[in-house]
Structure 1
Amino acid sequence: MTTFQPEPLPGEAPPADSVRPKDSTPQAPTSVSRLNETIRGFIQTWGSVWVEGEITSWNQRGGNVFGRLKDNVTDSTIAFRIWSSTRDRLPADLKVGDHVVACVKADFFVKTGDFSFGVSAMRHVGLGDQLERLERLRAQLRSEGLFDPARKRPLPFLPQTIGLITGENSDAEKDVHRNAELRWPQVRFRTKYAAVQGERCVPETIAALKALDAAPDVDVIIIARGGGDPQTLLGFSDERLVRAVAAASTPVVSAIGHENDHPLLDDVADLRASTPTDAAKRVVPDVAEQRALIAQLRARLTGRLTQRVTHDIAQLDQLRSRPALRAPESMLTSRAHEVELLVGRGRARVERGLESHVRRTTELRATLRALSPASTLARGYAIAHLADGVIVRDAAQAPASVPVVVTVGRGSFAARSEGEIAEAADSTADASPAGGAPGPI
């Protein structure tokens, strides 16, 4: 193997047990552990240094933090670790995307051969360039209304075909298929593979999105990735991809990363799923749940119908038990009796009225007859008329030789006046027996 001989710092002697060229030959090579110890001894001679960069990874495990810092100019990165005893002295709001300066000291793990930097101090400098650019883009897209909930389309209740954009042979693809098929075995997928990080991520994802959006049988599209640090998820915050998703006519579900990952694609998609598994559960209904719901609805419907029919039967029995429906002829009989009584009363009242009017008519006829001149004539009196019809009321109206018409009880006859007679004659005539004929005219 190639010999390794670290150079001592100026004024320092090499470690006593360090690997020397003369100590290792092809016939007598040194051990890995001794080599690692030599490297560690060399690295421990380095002092602490303050370094500036952007946090691109921040993972907490057992109170310790393991992450990476990136130089935004050259994209060079270093791995760092923060022990729990040091973490308590650092700002509590440190997170991915923060631009920081940190005091780091190199360390080399002999057992694994891993090289990293231990952090003894860290403080904010400002937002990282990438995070700052993303926030500006997020604000611009929000002002354009691309994040407005009103423009988000509802997902179909039961999609017949699901479009899936993911990495080839990825865990995200397996999770979506497995969970969707467990919930609805008849579901179908049309999958388009695309790079989920790197330079090919954005163009390949956009091409796959356009292909699935143009397919008439695709009801919903899922864009899935199995998580990662923000650096690897930058493609899903690209403005070109975000605008392509906003322009799609098919509902799009974003299932990028895990719960804490939040690329811009989540904001513009019609639905954000926390994981690919969550996307499958929210896109496809559970057949067992739907069957249980149908059974529950059927039971409720049966109960309601049974209750309604029972209630109507009870009402019908109650109506049938009423006297009017139990013996309907009784109502006709009572009404017939009432009609008969009313007819009898009406007939009696009419008869009494007729009798009263007959009596009154008889009385009036008798009164009329008593007052009628015919009655007077019937008693022997007569009425004398001149030729012009004037009734003779004064003897002077009928001088001698004047013709007169005499009307008696039965008929009339002509006569001629002999003139006015003496008063004695009138007295004699008045003394005649009642009913006697009137004297000469």
Structure 2
Amino acid sequence: MAESGSGAAPGASPATRDTPWPVGLMSEKIAAWVDRLGQVWVEGEITQWQLRGGHVYGKLKDLGQDATVSFTVWRSVAQRLTSEFAQGDRVIALVKPNFWVKGGSLTVQVFDISHVGLGELLERLERLRRQLQGEGLFDASRKRRLPFLPGRIGLVTGRDSDAEKDVVRNATLRWPGVQFRIHYAAVQGDRAAAEVTAGIERLDADPEVDVIIVARGGGDFQNLLPFSDERVVRAAANATTPVVSAIGHEADRPLLDEVADLRASTPTDAAKRVVPDVGEELAGIDQARARMTSRLGQLLTHETDRLSQLRGRPVLRSPERIVDERAEELVRWIARGTELADRAVVDRGRELSQLRARLTALSPRATLERGYGIVQLADGAVLRDAAGAPAGTQLRVSLASGRIAAVSEGDAAG
């Protein structure tokens, strides 16, 4: 049973097994059908952008599924474009599909192309910026100090990119022993944010990595959008390892610059700020050693002079002289002490003789020696009145030498 060509254009003979169409006829039919589609607006991601002879040849990929179409931008249209385009850009384009009969391929001719949703993207980025700033992720107090000399540097960048070469070359020139652990990631396009985030998290989990550099060699606003993606920004904010942003674009700073612990203007600047210059450090060591040597020399000279001054003093030049002087002084003080002691003894002896003479003169014994006596009653009381000794009273009479007992005979006058 013969098959009919149900998809044939009106006026074409049905294609059957016995009467097949020539390939050229079928191609012409396809071209006619495609041509009837006319111009349409499409959205997608540029996966290839090549400029040859003023014309642009590239490929446009669907954002959600695996579908790609080739496109051409003729010179007349390319000259009117006001924006720069590159691989990874998300665009909307006015195109007209064309089927190339001779090659059997489908291409689209671009009549207009622009980056998609620029105003919307700017508004979304500003909202995200305010949100992150409100959370304190941009605060200077969160910035961590970079290590003086990192043992191993983590680098997130594009494979074989100029940014990778700049960082590695300049860091190695400054410190030849520096080591890297590189995570390659797309740095533009829809895959970039996820791959850069994964790179930061993987390097942060590596205990040997002391600092992480995220590097890209500049680009326009669209190309830098992955570095303002919330996933990338939060990965950098949550990292325990210091993060350096080296995107290399002054006009449009991505949000990663704000949350990173250090922002470098270029990948080369990142290498210079992360790795110290071995020549400068050696020069600094030489200067410090020279200052220490000079200071130590001055200190030794000063102390030597002090020792010389001390040794030049009489007390240290002839210490025995002080002993001799003190010995002579001691002898003088001993002689003086002896003299004063003897004089004191004589004076005290003289005073004692005078006191003894006065005591002798005032003593009752002197009176007794002149023939007087002291009459006492039996209880020892001194008798001063004869009336106090009636007849028969026992008396004791003290003489200059000894005592005698007596009996009162009463008052003789009576």
Report if aligned partners of 1:152, 1:270 keep a CA contact under 8 Å in 2.
yes
* 1:139 match: 130
**Shift, 1:208, TM fit:** 1.5
**Shift, 1:231, TM fit:** 1.5
Number of residue equivalences: 317
Report if aligned partners of 1:227, 1:261 keep a CA contact under 8 Å in 2.
no
The partner residue of 2:230 within 222, 229, 239 is 239
Q: For residue 315 of structure 1, give the secondary structure of its aligned residue in structure 2.
A: helix
* 1:293 match: 284
Q: How many angstroms apart in 2 are the aligned matches of 1:344 and 1:261? A: 104
TM-score, structure 1 length as denominator? 0.64
Change in CA separation of 1:395 and 1:258 when aligned onto 2, cut-off 3 Å: closer
**Shift, 1:188, TM fit:** 0.9
Q: For residue 273 of structure 2, give the secondary structure of its aligned residue in structure 1.
A: helix
1:231-261 Cα offsets, whole Å, 9 max, x none, are 2221111122111111111111111134444
Change in CA separation of 1:401 and 1:193 when aligned onto 2, cut-off 3 Å: closer
Q: Which amino acid in the other structure matches residue 400 of structure 2?
A: G
Q: For residue 195 of structure 1, give the secondary structure of its aligned residue in structure 2.
A: coil
The 5-angstrom pairing of residues 201-216 of structure 1 reads 201-216=192-207
* 1:154 match: 145
* 2:273 match: 282
Q: Does 1:197 align with 2:188?
A: yes
**Shift, 1:391, TM fit:** 4.6
Q: Which amino acid in the other structure matches residue 307 of structure 1?
A: Q
* 1:109 match: none
**Shift, 1:417, TM fit:** 5.7
Q: How many angstroms apart in 1 are the aligned matches of 2:360 and 2:212? A: 120
For structure 1, which runs of at least 5 residues remain unmatched after alignment? 1-31, 33-42, 44-50, 58-66, 79-114, 118-126, 423-441
* 1:372 match: 363
TM-score, structure 2 length as denominator? 0.67
Q: Does 1:359 align with 2:376?
A: no
Report if aligned partners of 1:224, 1:255 keep a CA contact under 8 Å in 2.
yes
Report if aligned partners of 1:252, 1:271 keep a CA contact under 8 Å in 2.
yes
Q: For residue 221 of structure 2, give the secondary structure of its aligned residue in structure 1.
A: coil
The partner residue of 1:326 within 313, 317, 324 is 317
1:334-362 Cα offsets, whole Å, 9 max, x none, are 33333333333333333323222221221
Q: How many angstroms apart in 1 are the aligned matches of 2:212 and 2:405? A: 137
The 5-angstrom pairing of residues 34-45 of structure 1 reads none
Change in CA separation of 1:211 and 1:377 when aligned onto 2, cut-off 3 Å: same
Q: For residue 191 of structure 1, give the secondary structure of its aligned residue in structure 2.
A: strand
The 5-angstrom pairing of residues 13-412 of structure 1 reads 56-57=83-84, 75-76=92-93, 128-387=119-378, 389=380, 391-393=382-384, 404-412=395-403
Report if aligned partners of 2:248, 2:264 keep a CA contact under 8 Å in 1.
no
Q: How many angstroms apart in 2 are the aligned matches of 1:56 and 1:147? A: 31
**Shift, 1:172, TM fit:** 1.2
Report if aligned partners of 2:213, 2:243 keep a CA contact under 8 Å in 1.
yes
Change in CA separation of 1:390 and 1:241 when aligned onto 2, cut-off 3 Å: closer
* 2:57 match: none
Q: How many angstroms apart in 1 are the aligned matches of 2:292 and 2:216? A: 44
* 2:42 match: none
Q: For residue 220 of structure 2, give the secondary structure of its aligned residue in structure 1.
A: coil
**Shift, 1:373, TM fit:** 2.3
Q: For residue 75 of structure 1, give the secondary structure of its aligned residue in structure 2.
A: strand
Report if aligned partners of 1:385, 1:406 keep a CA contact under 8 Å in 2.
yes
Q: Which amino acid in the other structure matches residue 352 of structure 1?
A: R
Q: Which amino acid in the other structure matches residue 258 of structure 2?
A: D
1:144-203 Cα offsets, whole Å, 9 max, x none, are 211111111111111111111111111111111111111111111111111111111111
Q: For residue 245 of structure 2, give the secondary structure of its aligned residue in structure 1.
A: strand
Q: For residue 164 of structure 2, give the secondary structure of its aligned residue in structure 1.
A: helix
Q: For residue 335 of structure 1, give the secondary structure of its aligned residue in structure 2.
A: helix
Q: Which amino acid in the other structure matches residue 293 of structure 1?
A: G
Q: How many angstroms apart in 2 are the aligned matches of 1:273 and 1:184? A: 18
* 1:24 match: none
Change in CA separation of 1:369 and 1:195 when aligned onto 2, cut-off 3 Å: same
Report if aligned partners of 1:398, 1:417 keep a CA contact under 8 Å in 2.
yes
Greater Cα radius of gyration, structure 1 or 2: 1
**Shift, 1:375, TM fit:** 1.9
**Shift, 1:267, TM fit:** 1.2
1:302-343 Cα offsets, whole Å, 9 max, x none, are 111111111111112112212222222333333333333333
Work out the percentage of aligned pairs sharing the same amino acid: 58
Change in CA separation of 1:364 and 1:171 when aligned onto 2, cut-off 3 Å: same
Report if aligned partners of 1:383, 1:408 keep a CA contact under 8 Å in 2.
yes
Q: Which amino acid in the other structure matches residue 246 of structure 1?
A: A
Q: How many angstroms apart in 1 are the aligned matches of 2:389 and 2:225? A: 153
1:44-97 Cα offsets, whole Å, 9 max, x none, are xxxxxxx9x9x645xxxxxxxxx99xxx9x62399xxxxxxxxxxxxxxxxxxx
**Shift, 1:386, TM fit:** 4.9
Q: How many angstroms apart in 1 are the aligned matches of 2:285 and 2:272? A: 19
Mean alpha-carbon deviation: is it higher for 250-259 or for 167-176?
A: 250-259
